[in-house]
Structure 1
Amino acid sequence: MKRIFLSLTAATLLFTTACSNERKADEMANAESVAGADTMGVASEPTMGDSAAMDGTAGAAMADPNGPTAPHKDDPEFMKSAAHSDQNEIQLSKLALDKGVTGMAKDHANQMITDHTKSTAALKPIAQKKNVTLPTDMDAEHKAIAEQMGKLSGTELEKKYMEQMTLDHQKTANTMAAHQKMTQDADLQGFITQTLPVVQSHLSMFKQHSSM
C-alpha cells in the first residue's frame, strides 16, 4: 500500500508540474504575440524622421501664398525682381560687414553674399537668352533701408540686419512660389526649382536667429 501511495503521489506531482509548465509556455507565447503586435503597430506609423526623408523641404520655412510679393506679372518682370532681390541681400550684407557685425550676423552676411551671387549667376544666361536686362543695384526701397542701417552700430545694427533679412527672404520666397505657378518658361521653372529651396533655408535661418 505504501508503494502504491508513493507511486500515486509521484504521478500527481509529475502531472501538476507538466500542467504548470504548459501554462507558462502558453503565457510566454501570448506575451510574445502581443509584443509583436505592438511593435508592428508602432512601425507602421510614420515618424518625424521618415517625413523629413520623404519631404526634402522638411524643416525649411515655406512661402506664404497670402503674403506680399515683388512685382512678377510676367517673366521679364519676375527676372528683374529676382535680380533686385539678390542685390538687396548682397549689398545690405556688405554694408553690415563693413559696419563690423559679429557672430551669427557676420556668418550669415558672408553666406548671403556667396549664395545670392550664385543666384544672379544662374539667372543671367536666362535673362540674356530672353533679351532682359537685369538691374545691378538695390531697388529704391532698399537704398533707403541701407541709409537707415548706415546710422546704426553694434547690436542695433545686427538686430536690424537680421530682421530685414527675414522680411526680404519671406517676400522672395513668396514671389518665387507664386511665379512658379504662373510661368510656362522651362528655364525659369528650372531656376526657381533650384533657387527657392536655398531662399527657404535662408528664411528658416533668419527666423530662428533673429528672435534670439
Structure 2
Amino acid sequence: MKRSFLPLLATGLLTLASCGDNKSATAENGNASDNTMTSSATGGDTASTTMPAGSDKPENQPQNAGTAQGTAGNGAMTGAEAGALGDPNGPTAPHKDDKEFMMSAAHSDQNEIQQSKMALAKGVTGMAKDMANKMIADHSKSTADLKQIAAKKGVTLPTDMDAEHKALAPAMEKLSGKEFEQKYMAQMQADHQKTANTMMAHEKMTQDADLKAFITKTLPVVQQHLQMAQQNNNMKM
C-alpha cells in the first residue's frame, strides 16, 4: 500500500506545480497585454495633442471673421453722403458769370448772419444757439475774404439779405420758442444746400483763380454747416 501510494502523491505534486506555473505565465501575459494597451493609449493622446511648431503664435492663429473691417467703417464719406452735402446739378443761386456768383455769395453770407442774429435775439438754446453763433463767425470770415477778391475786380458787394429772405423775415419774427428754432434750423439746411450746390457748380464754370481758391476754402465750411443742420433736423423727425 505504501509503495503504491507514493507514486500517486508524487504525480499529484507535479500536477499542482504545473498549474501554478501556468497561472504565473497567464498573469504575466495579461500584464504585458495591459502594458501594451496603456502604451497605445498614451501614444494616441500624444499624437492628438501635438501641434506644429510656432502654431501658438498670434500670426499663425486663424483670424476671427468678426474682426475684419470693411471700407464702410474707415471713416471715408460715401457717395450718397457727399452728394447730400452738395449737388452742382441741384437748385443753385444765380451765377451766370463771376460777378453774379460773387453777388449771390455775398447775399448768402448776409442771409445766414442776419437770420442768426435774429435767432440769438429770440434766445434760442442748444444746437440752434450753437448754430447761430457759428453762422455769424464763419460767414463774417467768408465775407471778409470775398470782399478782398471783389475789390480787386471792381465789384461792389451787397450788404443785406436777398429779396427772398427779406420777404421771409416778417414771418420769422412772429415765431418764438421751439417753433422758431425748428423753422430757423430748417431754413439753415435749405440755405446751405443751395449755397453748396452753387459753389460746386461755379467751381466747374469759372476760370478765375481767385474764385476757385475762395470756393476751395469756403465750400468745406458750408458743407459742415449743412451737415450740422441736417443732423439736428433728423433728430427732430
Q: TM-score range by the shorter chain?
A: 0.7 to 0.9
SS in 2 for 1:71: coil
What one-letter code is carried by the residue in structure 2 that aligns with 1:72? H
Q: Which runs of 4+ in 1 moved over 3 A?
A: 1-5, 24-27, 32-35, 54-61
Residues in 2 aligned to 1:66 and 1:34: alpha-carbon distance in whole angstroms:
52
Residues in 2 aligned to 1:64 and 1:56: alpha-carbon distance in whole angstroms:
14
What one-letter code is carried by the residue in structure 2 that aligns with 1:97? L
Q: Please state if 1:46 is matched with 2:47.
A: no
Aligned counterpart, 1:149: 172
Structure 2: runs of 5 or more not aligned: 1-24
SS in 2 for 1:36: coil
Aligned counterpart, 2:36: 11
Residues in 2 aligned to 1:105 and 1:57: alpha-carbon distance in whole angstroms:
28
SS in 2 for 1:123: helix
Contact 1:84–1:135 (Cα < 8 Å) also in 2: yes
Structure 1: runs of 5 or more not aligned: none
Q: How many residues align?
A: 206
Q: Please state if 1:36 is matched with 2:62.
A: yes
Residues in 2 aligned to 1:97 and 1:38: alpha-carbon distance in whole angstroms:
53
From the superposition, tell whether residues 102 and 59 of structure 1 become closer, same or farther in structure 2 (CA, over 3 Å): same
- TM-score after normalising by structure 2: 0.75
Q: Point out which structure has higher relative CO (alpha carbons under 8 A, 6+ apart).
A: 1
Q: In the TM superposition, what is the alpha-carbon distance from 1:176 to its structure 2 partner?
A: 0.9
Residues in 2 aligned to 1:17 and 1:127: alpha-carbon distance in whole angstroms:
91
User: Within 5 A, what are the aligned runs for 1:60-139?
Assistant: 61-139=84-162
Residues in 2 aligned to 1:132 and 1:21: alpha-carbon distance in whole angstroms:
89
RMSD between aligned residues: 3.0
Residues in 1 aligned to 2:59 and 2:140: alpha-carbon distance in whole angstroms:
60
**Percent identity of equivalent pairs:** 59
Q: In the TM superposition, what is the alpha-carbon distance from 1:195 to its structure 2 partner?
A: 1.3
- TM-score after normalising by structure 1: 0.83
Q: Deviations over 1:67-87 (max 9, x none)?
A: 210011122211111111000
From the superposition, tell whether residues 130 and 188 of structure 1 become closer, same or farther in structure 2 (CA, over 3 Å): same
- Structure showing greater Rg: 2
Q: In the TM superposition, what is the alpha-carbon distance from 1:88 to its structure 2 partner?
A: 0.4
